[in-house]
Structure 1
Amino acid sequence: MDDLLSVKNLGISFGGLRAVNEFSINIKKEQLYGLIGPNGAGKTTIFNLLTGVYKPDSGKILLDNVDITGKSTIDISKAGIARTFQNIRLFSQLTVLDNVKAGLHNKHHYSTLDSILRLPRFHKTEKEMDKIAMELLDVFGLADYANVEAQNLPYGQQRKLEIARALATEPKLLLLDEPAAGMNPNETEELMDMIRFVRDHFHMTILLIEHDMKLVSGICEQLTVLNFGEVLAQGDTSTVLNDPQVIKAYIGE
């Protein structure tokens, strides 16, 4: 199976501090991959490098054999990387439907004039987006909440909505930043099922940051452990989690 994401020797410094150093990773298409490590290890920095929030000082990022190193967040989104955040970032006062439609504007366009004058292109595009958005909401069991403001959804459903909105951009790679944060054990079980479903239903490649070891061991096929901005261990999940260095540095047992 071909690699969808190939990162070689990625690095970045802030004020003389090397936050990420010589980071490399290869993720195959439709793989569920985990990135773990202690707080401050550099995991979110790597997500910010992959999505164009930060530009690396060194190294290369290839997405589906296309070099996206140093490109803008918009260009990287169009190339096929979408992400969620540890702290949910929905448009809280927009409806559930409109939140998903916000993700569709990457691929569906009409001009300002079309919108102001409500020209046929505007109505046609809006109808197409409504259809696609409702199909996504139906997949996540949120269709009945389409006209509810996002802020009024329960926490677990807000997580689902954030993933649905990310998928609306039609990504090749989905980055999930601590998707289980704030969830109770029952919600985490549901989340694990949902992530597996997203991978299988959308043929999606998923890279996730997570501290919940039950979720990590339950769904991730491969792991990379980061410590002080450098790769500590890499490989099959069970092997990595039983690595004495990983236990000492991260699990602490």
Structure 2
Amino acid sequence: MGVLLEVKNLGISFGGLRAVDGLNMTINEGALVGLIGPNGAGKTTAFNMLTGVYRPTDGTILLDGKSLVGKKPAEICQEGVARTFQNIRLFTQMSVLDNVKVALHNSIRYNLATSFLHLPSYFSKEKEMDEEALKILKIFELDTYADTNASNLPYGKQRKLEIARALATNPKLLLLDEPAAGMNPNETKELMETIELIRKEFKVTILLIEHDMKLVSGICEYLYVLNFGTELAHGTPAEVLNDPKVVKAYLGE
């Protein structure tokens, strides 16, 4: 498989603060890669640059050889990049089904007149979206909650729903921002199984930020480590997690 994401000398400054400096990453199609580091290392800032929330001060971001720098978040989503957030961002007063259907509008569309006038094609597209959303929810074992308000789901299932919604945009690259945050050990174990299932069912490349080293070492094939905005190390989990520089950054010793 070829290279899907290539990041070269990526950096961003906020006033006099250099938040990320000289980040380089190469991620192949189908890979599962972790971006780790202590709190405040610049990981979420890197995600925000990859998704167009922040425009880099310097450097390049190539997806399938095509530059993403300067594109808006919606445009980057259409190019094939989806993400979740450390703090869950669901439409809490909408049903589980409708949360996924919102994302499907990226690929299943009808025009304004069709929607307002409820023409036959409107009902056809709605049926298509219902079926596709239920198919995705079934993979995550959330189909029985289809009519439930998202706010009424247990925490672990809300996490799964956010991932399901991101996948409904049919991404090439899925960015997971601390997916295990706030989870108990059983929920974390279930999340690991879910991520492996995602790779099998959706053939998607995954880049994740995570502090749970058991999860990281259990599922990631390769790791990049940030510390104070700069790359500290990269390699396999075994290489990185036994690197004295990485141990020192995490433990402060």
Please say whether Structure 1 and Structure 2 have the same fold, judged by a TM-score greater than 0.5: yes
How many angstroms apart in 2 are the aligned matches of 1:8 and 1:182? 33
Aligned to 1:193: 193
What is the CA–CA distance in structure 2 between the aligned matches of 1:194 and 1:251, rounded to whole Å?
A: 30
C-alpha deviation, 1:252, in angstroms = 4.2
Cα distance per residue 1:75-115 (max 9 Å; x no partner): 10000000001111000000000000011111111122211
Q: Identify the range of structure 1 (197-206 vs 240-249) with the bigger mean alpha-carbon deviation.
A: 197-206
1:58, CA displacement in angstroms?
0.6
Instruction: Report the AA paired with residue 232 of structure 1.
Output: L
1:115 counterpart residue number: 115
- Asked if 1:243 is matched to 2:237, the reply is no
CA distance in 2, matches of 1:15, 1:211: 28
Encode CA deviations 1:22-51: one digit per residue, 9 max, x unaligned: 111001111110000011110000000000
Whole-angstrom CA distance in 1 between matches of 2:20 and 2:49: 10
Question: Quick one: which amino acid aligns to residue 189 of structure 2?
Answer: E
Give the CA deviation at 1:116. Answer: 1.4
Structure 1 ranges of 4+ moved more than 4 A: none
Output the CA distance in 1 between the equivalents of 2:87 and 2:106: 23
1:234, distance to aligned residue in structure 2 (A)? 0.6
Q: How many Å apart are 1:122 and its aligned residue?
A: 1.2
What does residue 170 of structure 2 align with?
170
Aligned length in residues: 253
Amino acid at match of 2:186: N
Identify the residue that residue 6 of structure 1 maps to in structure 2.
6
Residue 20 of structure 1: aligned partner = 20
> Sequence identity, in percent?
64
The residue number in structure 2 matching 1:39 is 39
SS in structure 2 of the partner of residue 196 of structure 1: helix
1:121 Cα deviation after fit: 2.0
Distance 1:243 1:201 in 2: 34
Report Cα offsets for 1:40-81 as digits up to 9, x if no partner: 110000000000000011111011111111211011000000
User: Which stretch shifts more, 144-153 or 102-111?
Assistant: 102-111
Q: What residue in structure 2 maps to residue 96 of structure 1? A: 96
Shift of 1:15: 1.1
The Cα shift of 1:251 comes to 4.0
Q: Distance in 1 between matches of 2:74 and 2:180?
A: 27
Shift of 1:159: 0.7
- Identify the residue that residue 230 of structure 1 maps to in structure 2: 230
- The equivalent residue for 1:86 is 86
CA distance in 1, matches of 2:130, 2:166: 16
